[in-house]
Structure 1
Amino acid sequence: MTGLALIFVVLRVISRFWIMRNPGMDDVLLILSTVVLCGFLASLAVSVHNHAGYPSVTLDAGNIEALSKTALLVEILYYFNICFIKCSILLTYLRFAVTRIFRRLCKGTIYFHVFLCIGSVVAVFSQTDPLSKMWTAAGDLNDYRINLAVLFYVTAGINIATDFWILVLPIKALSQIRRPRGEKIVLFCVFGAGLFASVASIVRLRSIAIYVNAEDHLRNSLSLLLWCMIEMSVAICCASVTGMRPIWLWIIRQ
């Protein structure tokens, strides 16, 4: 999934930086999100190395501490990456925004995601007092100052809701573009590619439910990490599609 996301981002970068020579902040954010995705992959490898998915009773103190510290890192990386991806999509919308209302809605949604990301990261750092208690009491969510189940459910629910909001946001603007009907259909399909990421977000919600309701959280953490990885990778691919048209046209001409 990481390799697929890298291919899509490279194709978009070629389209925007080399063919069109019109890069923007939306492209920069997608590149940053890919870097964060690679960091998430490295964290996932560290988790597997420390036996993520094994029963906690079979792990020593070093493994539990490493897994808990990695869990803290992946939570932060996930929230930042989702913010980067969605803000990139919204900045792409601003490229063809012609009405003041549409521009304000896009900018308002960007501000919302920035504040949501900041609030989520603050909540992650505030989950135990002191923070070191997170890895000394690993595996017992009752020792946490913040209800992690509520945090995960709320942020996941908001992300799913904003997925669909971002999908429907450009419909009116796209329908007003004066292009042949066939091209409009292609445009709607391209911008509707985010539906795949929304489906991945919904499936990830089920892995959250399994994780928070499990008696052994360390044993059930791996599936949650994997679905986070899948969700972010699919979202990056979907976000990249909107900027890849120039490279397909260039290939056809060649």
Structure 2
Amino acid sequence: MWTLHTTPEINDESAYPTIVGVAMSMTSAMLLIVALRAYVRFKIVKAPGMDDYVTFLAAATCIIYNVLAVYQTRLGLGLPVALRPKPSLAEYSVIQFSSRPIYMLGITCYKVALCFAYLRFVSPGMVTFRRLTWSLMGFIIISHFACTLVIILQCRPFRKSFEASLPGSCLPLYPTWNATAAITIACDIIVFLLPVPVFAKLQIDRRRKMGLIFLFVLGLFTTICSVMRMLQIRQVAKDGNNSTLVIWGTAEINVGIILTCLPALVPLFRKHLRGMGRGAFGYTHGSDRQATPSSTRLKHLSRSPAGHVPAMPKKAATRIQDSDEDSILAADDRGWETDRHWIRRTTEVHITRADRDVRSDEQKDRERFT
């Protein structure tokens, strides 16, 4: 039997298969995406940054949260409150209480990681955007930390948070949790929409621009999970059954980390995302990455012996293909030009040379007086 200290009949009524299935599948998908991100940053780009390390921290907290969620199903999560086994109630309450700050840390980390990614993408000259990003990052950290303190210290005495039988008082659950959920949802919306105006102004192909914008707007799917979780707070306040709340919390933190990692995976899937990846994060089709350092190829002009100059065509055109790279987005932290997040403008220059008399002055004088 999966649920401890209960009967087979009660165990069959538990929703633990759904909770365990969601937690295991979504955590596995999240780990795969984070592993791919690590491969791209450490092996392909070879320039990991603060956004990567904060994402790894978010992934670690996500794993802990999901492990605790799965273990709670062994103690009664998934059952109606009246059917949950009494011998497991004390342990269940402590673990449930412990998972709340871990959840808050996880959703804080992936939002902060996204802010660090924005700072890494944009050039130092975009002062206003960088200030907005730093300000948003500070607000996320402070507000989410404050929400965590409210969740932890909502009862007096402290132990009453996980020992309901103790005398004391607690903040009303429904308005308190609603307020914290509203703050996290607002931060979700702002952090994912923040770069959209910047990308909308980029001078790139419209289709590629829309693909780049869509990649970040897709992050709003996390907000859907947050809203669905928020709607379950009323049910928890009503009967204490938090099973669906945990499911949506698991989905929110996993989806948030996955969507945060997607922009970092563009170099890995460049061939499959050619329309968006090459135009938005790499090189345009006209540039030559294997060019010589000067990126210039001139036709060879030969001279015959004895000063004889061969006849030249009516018009001779020499083509110079030069990558005029506008660093709209910044290089990596060490100043290297990488495949990561550059937008490059390629300019092809055609130099046309008209006929000219290349004879020496001495030859001209001889012909003139002959």
TM-score with structure 2 setting the length? 0.63
Q: Give the counterpart of 2:176 among 144, 147, 151.
A: 151
**1:32 maps to 2:57:** yes
Gaps of 5+ in 1: none
Question: Deviation of residue 144 (structure 1)?
Answer: 4.2
Distance in 2 between residues matched to 1:178 and 1:93, nearest whole Å: 18
Q: Give the counterpart of 2:164 among 116, 122, 137.
A: 137
Distance in 2 between residues matched to 1:252 and 1:153, nearest whole Å: 40
Matching residue of 1:228: 249
Shifted more, 24-33 versus 91-100: the winner is 91-100
Superposed counterparts of 1:51-62, under 5 Å: 51-62=76-87
**1:66 maps to 2:91:** yes
Change (3 A) 1:144 1:16: farther
Question: Deviation of residue 71 (structure 1)?
Answer: 1.6
Q: Structure 1, residues 124-148: CA drift from partner, whole Å, max 9, x if none?
A: 221222322223216x9x9642223
Q: Secondary structure, in 3 states, of the residue corresponding to 1:172?
A: helix
Higher relative contact order (CA 8 A, sep 6+): 1
Superposed counterparts of 1:93-132, under 5 Å: 93-98=118-123, 99-132=126-159
Distance in 1 between residues matched to 2:216 and 2:82, nearest whole Å: 47
Distance in 2 between residues matched to 1:54 and 1:188, nearest whole Å: 42
Q: Structure 1, residues 70-100: CA drift from partner, whole Å, max 9, x if none?
A: 1211110111111101011111111223421
**1:175 maps to 2:196:** no
Between the two proteins, the alignment pairs up a number of residues equal to 247
Superposed counterparts of 1:179-218, under 5 Å: 179-212=204-237, 214-215=238-239, 217=240
Does structure 2 conserve the Cα–Cα contact (< 8 Å) formed by 1:126 and 1:146? no
Distance in 2 between residues matched to 1:95 and 1:59, nearest whole Å: 49
Superposed counterparts of 1:41-52, under 5 Å: 41-52=66-77
Q: Secondary structure, in 3 states, of the residue corresponding to 1:184?
A: helix
Question: Deviation of residue 176 (structure 1)?
Answer: 2.7
Change (3 A) 1:167 1:56: closer
Distance in 1 between residues matched to 2:253 and 2:200, nearest whole Å: 28
Does structure 2 conserve the Cα–Cα contact (< 8 Å) formed by 1:156 and 1:205? yes
Change (3 A) 1:251 1:10: farther
Q: Give the counterpart of 1:81 among 74, 94, 106.
A: 106
Q: Structure 1, residues 167-198: CA drift from partner, whole Å, max 9, x if none?
A: 32112211233332232122112111202111
Does structure 2 conserve the Cα–Cα contact (< 8 Å) formed by 1:152 and 1:208? yes
Identity level (%): 25
Which structure has greater strand proportion?
A: 2
Does structure 1 conserve the Cα–Cα contact (< 8 Å) formed by 2:77 and 2:84? no
Does structure 2 conserve the Cα–Cα contact (< 8 Å) formed by 1:9 and 1:240? yes
Question: Deviation of residue 252 (structure 1)?
Answer: 8.4
Q: Give the counterpart of 1:163 among 174, 185, 188.
A: 188
Matching residue of 2:13: none
Distance in 2 between residues matched to 1:252 and 1:83, nearest whole Å: 29
Distance in 2 between residues matched to 1:249 and 1:59, nearest whole Å: 51
Q: Report the aligned-residue RMSD.
A: 2.2
Distance in 2 between residues matched to 1:183 and 1:66, nearest whole Å: 52
Distance in 1 between residues matched to 2:179 and 2:190, nearest whole Å: 16
Which structure has greater helix proportion?
A: 1
Question: Deviation of residue 251 (structure 1)?
Answer: 7.7
Change (3 A) 1:252 1:196: closer
TM-score with structure 1 setting the length? 0.89
Does structure 2 conserve the Cα–Cα contact (< 8 Å) formed by 1:197 and 1:231? yes
**1:243 maps to 2:279:** no
Does structure 2 conserve the Cα–Cα contact (< 8 Å) formed by 1:25 and 1:88? yes
Does structure 2 conserve the Cα–Cα contact (< 8 Å) formed by 1:211 and 1:221? yes
Matching residue of 1:9: 34
